[in-house]
A and B are shown apart, each in its own frame.
Chain A
Amino acid sequence: MTDASTSLHRRAWDLIPWIINGSAPQSECQAVEAHLHDCPDCGAELEFQRRVQMAIARKGTPDLDPHASWQRLSARLDAGADAELPSRLDHRHPSRFGRAWMPWVMAAMLVQAIALGALGAALWWRTAPGDSNAIARTGAYRTLSAAASPAPQATIRAVFAPTMTLGELQALLAGARLRVVTAPSDGDVWSLGPADDSTRAATDTAVQALRAHAAVRFAEPIGASP
């Protein structure tokens, strides 16, 4: 084979997919047309690639209701508005949602801290040492020295859709008999623990309940084998 014919063979061979899908320039097609007709290798490759195209074309496409999918995206856009998704927050560019709500959140935290402080002071005063009537006033069922109810150990990790409301989350956790152990700080993973029953069977049941909810994107028992 001469250099010229080798070069033409290469051009023709490289061009075959683009001839088949109709995107090769007309001038290129004309330049290699005779070679494709005469060269058995290129002729076989042309035929083979047509079969590849047929194999690709005949593969079915799954049905996915476009209107239902759009509704889910629409809800996501409503929830996020123009902000970025919580899982993709770029801390250099706080979202509009974050900027708008931050002062209110901080104000609420301040009010909560003041209220808790006042409550603690009142309770301390009512049970102060030397106050012999304290127990009688507060009732035998309540003492400051009693250990606070310990937070449950986290048994499940979960990620919720940003569209989930606080009410929905509370209802879901109550139904699954779960409590929040830690809420996400900089990510979107929640740690949950049992409200009462901490057996593995109860954890598995709770995981199933979480997974059955449309707004739960991920729910796995902690320490489960992969």
Chain B
Amino acid sequence: MSHDDVHDRELLRRVAARDRRALEQLYLEYQRRLLQFLSRLTSQRETLEEAINDTFWTVWQKADEFRGASRVSTWVIGIAWRCTLKTLRRNNDAAAARLASCVAADPPRMAAPVDEERLDWLEQGLATLPLEQRATLELAYFAGHSCEEIAAIMDCPVNTVKARMFQARVKLRNLLPKLGGIEDASHCRGSQS
């Protein structure tokens, strides 16, 4: 168990004992981290705050139900993921996000782009992915979570995470064929078994 997780578990134990100061400390330590992840799913500041506050409202209610099967961070981020999905559905933000994705669905194709441009194109490509696929990539690459941890966060089987990761990679490749210096997606024969 990491030092961070020991610290988080102690805070969560105090939260379960209705210690509001412990909840505040947990909130202040996690707010930025959740913001970094959730802001990849929606850019609406009000939606972000609503989702994060809903998350810690749930943590306050359910802290005594944490059984230690995962890291505290995995548990909290899992709650945040579900709260964000609910908030997006409630605010009909997902429809707006999909609309924005359609607008960006046809990235410009130029010869010999410089590196910054390639990264810009990749950002646009990421924005076109369905929410679950994008979140899988974000959790893996930004937060460094393992496949099993992402399955716990997203409350789905490990194979679903693998499938989402595979689909996201293939879709990015197909959208941006020249970025990797490969003209087709034939290299994707390492398909999901």
Binding site for B on A (CB under 8 A): 6, 9-14, 17-18, 20-23, 41-42, 44-45, 47-49, 51-59, 61-62, 64, 66-67, 69-70, 72-74, 76-77, 82, 85
Q: Which residue of A lies closest to B144 (CB)?
A: A21
The B interface, classified by DSSP as helix, strand, loop or mixed, is helix
CB distance from B18 to the nearest CB of A (A): 8
A9–B118 Cα distance when bound, in Å, is 27
Cβ contacts B59-70/A at 8 Å (1 or 0 each): 011000000000
A44–B123 Cα distance when bound, in Å, is 19
The reply to whether B147 and A66 contact each other, CB–CB distance below 8 Å, is no
A74–B118 Cα distance when bound, in Å, is 43
A106–B31 Cα distance when bound, in Å, is 42
Identify 16 residue pairs between A and B in the complex whose beta-carbon atoms are under 8 Å apart, listed by A's number.
A9-B189, A13-B190, A14-B166, A20-B141, A21-B140, A23-B140, A41-B187, A45-B187, A48-B180, A57-B141, A59-B39, A61-B35, A61-B36, A62-B35, A69-B27, A73-B27
The reply to whether B56 and A73 contact each other, CB–CB distance below 8 Å, is yes
A42–B189 Cα distance when bound, in Å, is 10
Q: Which residue of A lies closest to B27 (CB)?
A: A70
Total residue contacts A-B, CB cutoff 8 A: 130
A58–B181 Cα distance when bound, in Å, is 22
The A interface, classified by DSSP as helix, strand, loop or mixed, is helix
Q: Which residue of B lies closest to A82 (CB)?
A: B61
Q: Which residue of B lies closest to A23 (CB)?
A: B146
Task: Check if B179 is an interface residue, CB within 8 A of chain A.
Answer: yes
Task: Check if B169 is an interface residue, CB within 8 A of chain A.
Answer: yes
Q: Return chain A residues, CB-CB under 8 Å to B192.
A: 14
